[in-house]
Structure 1
Amino acid sequence: MSASSDPLVRLCDVHKRYRRGNQLVPVLAGISFDIAAGEFLALMGPSGSGKSTLLNLIAGIDRADSGELIVAGEDITCLDEADLADWRAKNIGFIFQFYNLMPVLDARENVELPLLLTGLSGRERRARAEFALEMVGLADRMDHTPNELSGGQQQRVAIARALVSDPTLIVADEPTGDLDRDSATEVLRLLQRLNDEVGKTIVMVTHDQRAAEAAHAIMHLEKGELSVREVVRPR
């Protein structure tokens, strides 16, 4: 995406296939592109185009069959499972379509979850969680459980959880897909603010053109190949 010689994310000839019965089905076919630090990129494409697979590869959730994938200076294709898990915890913040919040925990406790294995004290974890919730406008909802929050508020809790460990990269998989229009607009504005004001790099998968237009650029995938890159907002 960027002409920079030192991108935050670099993919070089990345291939991915999945086994379906006795067949290997290609999903990504030689993907190569860069993402600059501070960019907000939307990935779009029809069902089965490979956009969620691409997001999972960038986040280290899945592994490429071949090619080079460098994120935050680390070639994650070379890491074993333990090192990859440690790398994800330090570098990636996840936002999911259906929030993935623990129903028995309040907002603060949900946001603290990524910090439980960091060695931080309980006081430090609590302070970080409260700061993250303040950043997303939920200072007055910290003690509420998910069923006491609207869909938009739950997604903001999920965004706070993604932010709490100060990740290098935020990956969002259909973050507005389960929200009404007003809540979706609120979440997109929040993501833009985190990108513009805090400088977070964001990669977002979406099927919604309106949501994609919140990004700096839109990358379209067709049958596992990049087809079009559309600039929405100059960086």
Structure 2
Amino acid sequence: MIPVLEGISFDIVAGEFLALMGPSGSGKSTLLNLIAGIDKPDSGIIAVNGVDITTLSESDLAAWRAANVGFIFQFYNLIPVLTAFENVELPLLLTGLSRKKRKEHVETVLSLVSLSDRMDHYPSELSGGQQQRVAIARAMVADPPILVADEPTGDLDRVSAAEILGLMSRLVEDFGKTIIMVTHDPKSAEKAGRIVHLEKGELVSSSFSHQ
């Protein structure tokens, strides 16, 4: 068996905006999935706030993800037949929150991403940048401390990409979120506070950006 990642060891500070870079096949998305508790490593530990998540059972890991991690994807992963409001509300449906509380949470995060006037719109009625803002609101609605983003600007034009990166920076600066972002784009990576480069499954450099 050929290892996808090998000998990787580094720390991420709470409230940090970290970019993972590297060529295709370097292990970026695999590392992101490990950090988010989607995959488990064959060896080693992944400690988050003192908890080694590699030791958790599948049910405990699912509960940990729901409480601690929000996901942002390149292609938004919105459900076409649901409105922006309904897409954002989805993560709250199993939390036991009342309908009134869910409405408050959804309206708050949609306001945060400047989409209060688009709540009742379907994904097909929104631009790419607006759809990604809905996706960020969905990732934020349960107030997780960690956001993981896999190529969040990869399907956007430059203007929309800049808006999304600005929003993500604000989530770190104003709300103390920890963001780990995979990107191929050096300009996007420069918006992060630190850039980690992977090659062939190994960490080859870690440097602070000059934003």
Unaligned runs of 5+ in 2: none
Q: Would you say 1:164 and 2:144 are equivalent positions?
A: no
The residue that corresponds to 1:28 in the other structure is: 5
**Structure 1, residues 86-132: CA drift from partner, whole Å, max 9, x if none?**
10000000000000001111011100111111010111111101101
Q: Separation in 1 of the partners of 2:122 and 2:51?
A: 37
Greater relative contact order: 1 or 2 (C-alpha under 8 angstroms, separation 6 or more)?
2
Partner of 1:94: 71
193, 196, 202: which one aligns with 2:179: 202
1:215 and 1:233 in contact (8 A); partners too: no
CA deviations on 1:176-225 (whole Å, 9 max, x unpaired) are: 00001111011000001111111111000000000000100100001111
Name the structure 1 match of 2:52. Answer: 75
Q: Deviation digits for residues 148-185 of structure 1, max 9, x if unmatched?
A: 00000000000000000000100000000000111101
* Equivalent residue for 1:60, pick from 32, 37, 40: 37
Give the unaligned 5+ runs of structure 1. Answer: 1-23
Shifted more, 151-160 versus 64-73: the winner is 64-73
The 8 Å contact of residues 128 and 164 in structure 1, kept in 2 or not, is answered as: yes
CA distance in 2, matches of 1:96, 1:164: 16
Residue 70 of structure 2 aligns to a residue whose secondary structure is: strand
2:26 paired with 1:49: yes
2:62 alignment counterpart: 85
Q: Which of 204, 219, 225 is equivalent to 2:202?
A: 225
Change in Cα spacing, 1:233 to 1:119, as seen in structure 2 (3 Å) is: farther
Query: Aligned pair 1:137/2:114, yes or no?
Result: yes
- 2:9, 2:116 → 1: CA distance? 41
* Residues in 2 aligned to 1:205 and 1:71: alpha-carbon distance in whole angstroms: 19
Q: CA deviation at 1:233?
A: 4.8
In structure 2, distance between residues paired with 1:124 and 1:71:
29
Could you list the runs of 4 or more consecutive aligned residues of structure 1 that deviate by over 3 angstroms after TM superposition? none
> Which whole-Å CA distance do the structure 2 matches of 1:49 and 1:149 have between them?
33
The code of the aligned residue for 1:131 comes to T
Q: Tell me, in whole angstroms, the C-alpha distance in 1 between the residues paired with 2:166 and 2:135.
A: 15
Q: CA RMSD in A?
A: 0.9
More helix by share: 2
SS in 1 for 2:197: strand
Q: What is the TM-score of this pair, normalised by structure 1?
A: 0.88
Q: Check conservation: 1:72, 1:168, Cα contact below 8 A.
A: no
Task: Measure, in 1, the Cα distance between the counterparts of 2:197 and 2:55.
Answer: 28
